Amino acid sequence: MKLSVFTVATPDLTPEELILAAREAGLDGVEWRFKGVPAEAKGEAPSFWRNNLCSIDPGLSDTEMLRFKEITEAQGLEVVSVTPYLNSLNLEETDRAFRAARLLGAKMIRVGAAGYDGSTPYPELYEATVRYLKEAERMAKQYGIKGVVETHHNTIAPSAGLTHRLVSHCDPEYIGVLFDPGNMVHEGYERFKIGLELLGPYLAHVHVKNALWVQDGTRADGTAAWRSEWAPLAGGIVDFRMLLDDLRSVGYDGYLGIEDFSGQYDSKTLLKAFTEFMRERM
């Protein structure tokens, strides 16, 4: 297995700084965040989801985007993915991400699954997402780039089982799954091995982060209330030694991508700590 970084987790580094830090930490690849920074956020301190300095603006020209490929490959790293936010199921934005991935030589992009907040029935969201994924599959064939659906809380794909239900309508050569056990602490936990065995050929990528549950006051009936929050790799619920054993048991030899949101480390220290943590367990 190889190691990568999803640049959402390194918001305080410029792309050039990120590439040098990734190489020095011993990583193998980069997953470039594909999202613009809102104009009103550009004066803010760097942050994961607003003023993220390590992002590709989808509005850049081809020449400007090619800079990301050039600086990555110049340091001997691979462009693993272009990673947008597509849970609105917007096909125009999906096509734009596929085109960018082909330009940068990426292996995959993250495609969407409808968000879920209880206001729209699951069957409606399921049908809409399947229609979207069939179109994404057509684009994947056209561009020669795989689309992956991430197991993610607050969507209709929180678990391996529900994600498999979506992607099973598609060819695993073109549409796969990004398995994220950290997200599954918040919602969608299944034993890793069950999910990995179910996904089979659809398993395409793995994200590495951790989370935990903490007591948060009491409910109206006097019982304990709980909330989930992000945690450092060694301080959360995910058992990474078990995860790696389970990944090996199904023959997975792809990338493990850091996406830590705990805020425990600055970005350069995070990359070094991630590499040491995973190498000890691989």
Give pLDDT tens digits for 51-79: 999 999 999 999 999 999 999 999 999 99
d(CA 95, CA 43): 30
Give pLDDT tens digits for 72-112: 999 999 999 999 999 999 999 999 999 999 999 999 999 99
Contact 185, 212 (CB under 8 A): yes
Residue 187: CB atoms within 10 A of its CB come to 15
Q: What is the pLDDT of residue 117?
A: 97
Query: How confident is the model over 198-223, as a mean pLDDT?
Result: 96
At 72, phi and psi to the nearest 5?
-70, -50
Give pLDDT tens digits for 27-60: 999 999 999 999 999 889 999 999 999 999 999 9
DSSP 44-65: SPP-SSSS-TTEE-TTS-HHHH
Q: One-letter amino acid identity for 82?
A: V
- Residue 207, beta-bridge partner list: 257
Mean pLDDT is lowest, of 141-150, 213-222, 240-249, for 213-222
Q: What is the pLDDT of residue 264?
A: 93
Q: What is the pLDDT of residue 176?
A: 98
d(CA 141, CA 173): 9
Q: What is the pLDDT of residue 259?
A: 97
Q: What is the DSSP letter of 115?
A: B
Helix residue spans in the chain (DSSP H): 15-25, 62-74, 91-104, 122-143, 160-167, 183-186, 192-199, 240-249, 267-279
Contact 55, 84 (CB under 8 A): no
Give pLDDT tens digits for 175-204: 999 999 999 999 999 999 999 999 999 999
With b meaning 16 or more CB within 10 Å and e meaning fewer, what string describes 146-172?
A: bbbbbbbbebbbbbbebbbbbbeebeb
DSSP 62-102: HHHHHHHHHHHHHTT-EEEEEE---TT--HHHHHHHHHHHH
- Residue 33, beta-bridge partner list: 55, 83
Complete domains list, the chain, with CATH: 2-280 (3.20.20.150)
Of the chain, the percentage scoring pLDDT greater than 70 comes to: 100
Q: What is the pLDDT of residue 109?
A: 98
Q: What is the pLDDT of residue 210?
A: 98
Give pLDDT tens digits for 146-167: 999 999 999 999 999 999 999 9
Q: Which of 12, 6, 14, 11 is nearest to 32 (CA)?
A: 6
Q: What is the pLDDT of residue 166?
A: 98
- Per the listing, tokens 């796969």 go with 176
pTM of the predicted structure, to 2 decimals: 0.97
d(CA 220, CA 181): 31
Q: What is the pLDDT of residue 24?
A: 98
